[in-house]
Structure 1
Amino acid sequence: MSDAPEPVPTERNRVWKTPPGVALCAEADLADPGARGFVLQIGEAYFHGFLVRKDGRVVGWVDRCPHAGFPLAVELDRYLTPDGELLLCGWHGAVFSPLSGACVGGPGMGGRLTEWPVEVVGGVVRTA
């Protein structure tokens, strides 16, 4: 038995941007409407973001609610309201426009999600 103290867990370093050109998924893999989360390791840090496909458009958002700083989804890939019309912060009930990122109801009204630049090239969604 060792008397050495147990290591203290440390918070993972986060980054808020990604390099361009990283292939994420095929556009066809996203339902319309639909959303999917991504965690990318960049060096020693991690980026958390999600894609939304709605009305034929694909947009990306940093997975961080502007109200409290938590990720939006409480369950994996559960970003949209059941009717697919809005994004929902599962922690506090804030709702956002999926294409503009504007908070349209709940806590943080008037705030906005942070854009994650993405583009569709040849049917593949990539970071921009």
Structure 2
Amino acid sequence: MSDTDIDTPDDAGAVVPASDRLFATPAGIALGPVDAVLPGAARGYVVQMRAGRFHGFVVRRGDAVFGYVDRCPHAGLPLAHALDDYLTPRGDLIVCGWHSAMFAIEDGRCVGGPCIGQSLAAWPVEIVHGVLKTCGPPEPHAQDV
């Protein structure tokens, strides 16, 4: 079984079959007001589409936002154990709750833990007139090509 075949729990604790899990969204989906993501914090989003569900999260640093697919490159599991719990206590890194892998907020590269040399998959998001929106499919990482 590959890490893409792992069934994972959704936000309500129900198991989401791996076949229903999506890893990209189309551009232009309004996620809500950017103020829903406090500066220095992160927030998870689930986007329901016909083909399945996409799980991602957004980290806000001042006026900048960084989006990632909610999937650790090490084990293929969602990063957070608890709702919106994506950052270290200091808020300076993204952390995987399963194996403590740590990732840079700005580019998603692993800076500590069992996945050195790997990165989180980007989920392009932008702020348009105070609204957080998707802006295209993530670019593939070298390890995915």
In the superposition, the TM-score normalised over structure 2's length comes to: 0.79
Let me know the Cα RMSD of the aligned residues: 1.4
The answer to which structure has the higher helix fraction is 2
User: Which residue in 2 is equivalent to 1:40?
Assistant: 47
Structure 1: stretches of 5+ with no match in the other structure: 1-8
Q: Return the alpha-carbon distance in structure 1 between the equivalents of residues 101 and 62 of structure 2.
A: 22
Q: Deviations over 1:47-70 (max 9, x none)?
A: 010001014310110000000000
Classify the secondary structure of the residue corresponding to 2:132.
strand
Range moving further from structure 2, 52-61 or 101-110? 52-61
Matched position secondary structure for 1:47: strand
- Helix, strand or coil: the match of 2:21? coil
Residue in structure 2 matched with residue 95 of structure 1 by the alignment: 102
Q: Distance between the aligned counterparts of 1:96 and 1:108, measured in 2?
A: 9
Question: Which residue is 1:4 aligned to?
Answer: none
Which SS does the other structure have where 2:72 is aligned? coil
**Which residue of 2 is the match for residue 26 of structure 1?**
33
State the Cα deviation string for residues 14-52 of structure 1 (Å, max 9, x = none): 111111111112112211101000111110311010001
- 1:77-92 map, 5 Å: 77-92=84-99
Q: Is the 8 A contact 1:54 1:99 kept in 2?
A: no
Identify unmatched segments of 5+ residues in structure 2.
1-14, 136-145
Rg larger in 1 or in 2?
1
SS at match of 1:126: strand
Runs of 4+ residues deviating >2 angstroms: none
Separation in 2, partners of 1:49, 1:103 = 17
Identity %: 50
Q: Distance in 2 between matches of 1:123 and 1:41?
A: 22
2: distance between equivalents of 1:63 and 1:86?
Answer: 15
1:67 and 1:55 map into 2 onto residues whose CA distance is 29
Aligned length: 120
